[in-house]
């Protein structure tokens, strides 16, 4: 399914699927299957509201399972949330400043009225208050920028480390694309194991190969199953289930993928 050309950023697709923003692809697909049943035209009355909701779910699964589209959506979503947080913080500071000024003016001192050298009281001008407000906002923005840059660096470092770590707990499997093998896909591979064991399943391109006992090349399906821990991956390699699977190998090991 191709992602929609335009994404409505007023819709939070993670909230729509009731999943966290760091959910894995398998968790996204599982949430989609569960939620879509509530609005599927074949399952419920196809009212305009249900059809609109079902269409939103289609857009959500298209966007969140396409790595490039998901990256763009996540970036825009994070920017929107950051702007919302900044506006909320700014409004909070304005409200606090206003309340403080009103309190000080009521008390006859502080920022509302300040004694001068000759003992007379004067009020701060609107210009002076505006300068102080802008200075405070600029200071807060600089602090937020430093925090955002630090967080971005940490996220990037984690992203660079994750592929290697994920590969070590990943298993590559192949099966013949005929008979029952035609029904093997990412969902089938994930559902073959207990809930919580598989983090993700990556489907690779089918290839024709020669196998023992066959005169002609056969079409082989290939996938990489990423388990949530190395221990789970080791147990799976030994115990399975591997019904219908032609070969099993560690994904981190170099092999002939030509």
Higher pLDDT, 213 or 32: 32
Average pLDDT over residues 118-145: 71
Assigned domain for 204 exists: yes
pLDDT band at 11 (very low <50, low <70, confident <90, very high): confident
pLDDT band at 110 (very low <50, low <70, confident <90, very high): very low
Assigned domain for 217 exists: yes
**Is pLDDT at 3 greater than 60 in this prediction?**
no
pLDDT band at 4 (very low <50, low <70, confident <90, very high): very low
The domain containing residue 235 runs over which residues? Answer: 167-250
* Total domain count, the chain: 2
Average pLDDT over residues 85-99: 82
- Out of 40, 65, 90, pick the residue that ends a domain: 65
pLDDT 10s digits, 38-63:
998 888 888 999 899 999 999 999 99
pLDDT band at 104 (very low <50, low <70, confident <90, very high): low
Higher pLDDT, 169 or 130: 169
**Is pLDDT at 114 greater than 50 in this prediction?**
no
Determine what percent of the chain is predicted with pLDDT higher than 90. Answer: 27
Q: What is the pLDDT of residue 162?
A: 52
Assigned domain for 79 exists: no
Assigned domain for 47 exists: yes
Assigned domain for 29 exists: yes
Q: In angstroms, what CA-CA distances link 168 with 21, 41, 162, 172, 197? A: 24, 42, 10, 11, 15
pLDDT 10s digits, 196-251:
889 998 988 888 888 888 888 889 999 999 999 999 999 989 888 888 898 898 98
Assigned domain for 175 exists: yes
């Amino acid at each position: 399914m191709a992602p929609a050309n335009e994404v409505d950023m007023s819709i939070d697709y993670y909230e729509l699927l009731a999943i966290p923003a760091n959910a894995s692809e398998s968790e996204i697909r599982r949430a989609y299957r569960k939620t879509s049943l509530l609005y599927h035209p074949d399952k419920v009355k196809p009212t305009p509201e249900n059809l609109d909701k079902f269409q939103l779910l289609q857009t959500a699964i298209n966007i969140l399972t396409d790595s490039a589209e998901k990256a763009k959506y996540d970036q825009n979503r994070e920017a929107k949330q950051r702007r919302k947080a900044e506006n909320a913080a700014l409004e909070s500071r304005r409200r606090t400043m206003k309340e403080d000024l009103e309190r000080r003016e009521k008390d006859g001192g502080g920022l509302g009225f300040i004694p001068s050298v000759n003992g007379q009281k004067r009020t701060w001008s609107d210009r002076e208050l505006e300068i102080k407000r802008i200075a405070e906002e600029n200071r807060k923005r600089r602090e937020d920028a430093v925090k955002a840059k630090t967080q971005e660096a940490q996220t990037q470092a984690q992203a660079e480390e994750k592929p290697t770590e994920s590969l070590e707990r990943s298993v590559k499997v192949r099966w013949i694309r005929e008979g029952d093998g035609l029904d093997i896909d990412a969902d089938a591979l994930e559902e073959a194991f207990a809930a919580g064991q598989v983090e993700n399943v990556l489907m690779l391109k089918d290839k024709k190969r020669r196998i023992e006992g066959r005169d002609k090349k056969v079409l082989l399906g290939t996938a990489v199953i990423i388990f949530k821990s190395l221990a789970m991956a080791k147990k799976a390699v030994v115990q399975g289930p591997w019904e219908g699977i032609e070969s099993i190998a560690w994904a981190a090991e170099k092999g002939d993928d030509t």
